[in-house]
Amino acid sequence: RMKMVTLGQQRFRILEYLREKPYRVGLVEWIEDKPPEEDLRPLGTEVEQLLRDVVHLSAKLTAQKIELPEDLPTLPVELSYWVASNLHGVASEQQTLLEMQKTADRLRREAEILASTRNHLAARTALKDALD
């Protein structure tokens, strides 16, 4: 097993390593999400709002200007990958999100993580406001 950091446009699975030097080259298989069984727009909207709440509370708590990119994806599939790849925290959780093959599952888990983070930040912000 090897940890690898990539930046790309499409998910893939490494099937075979073909060469080691001067850098690794391998045979890959493209991975597509399984087709959704439901309309993902409401779930995408929920995740986007939770993300905006987390960014707003983080900015308030740290007294720094924190903004989401203007080109934040709006389509549920792309948003789910953007959130997963930009989520800071436990690397194994991030990897689990990126490996999920159903967008709905990925969005639901992201909503859970973001809601928990929002609640934590809201409590810290309320405490800070009470002490100031």
pLDDT, position 5: 61
Q: Which DSSP category does 35 fall into?
A: P
Cβ contacts of 73 within 8 Å, gap of 6 or more:
79, 81, 82
pLDDT, position 118: 97
pLDDT, position 37: 85
Largest CA distance in the chain: 60
pLDDT, position 33: 84
- Confirm whether pTM is higher than 0.85: no
Domain ranges of the chain: 40-131
Q: How far apart are the first and last CA of the chain?
A: 49
Quick check: 51 and 114 in contact, CB under 8 A? yes
Helix (H) or strand (E) holding 100: none
pLDDT, position 2: 62
Mean pLDDT for back-to-back runs of 10 residues, the chain (132 residues) = 61 87 88 88 98 96 93 94 88 90 96 97 94 86
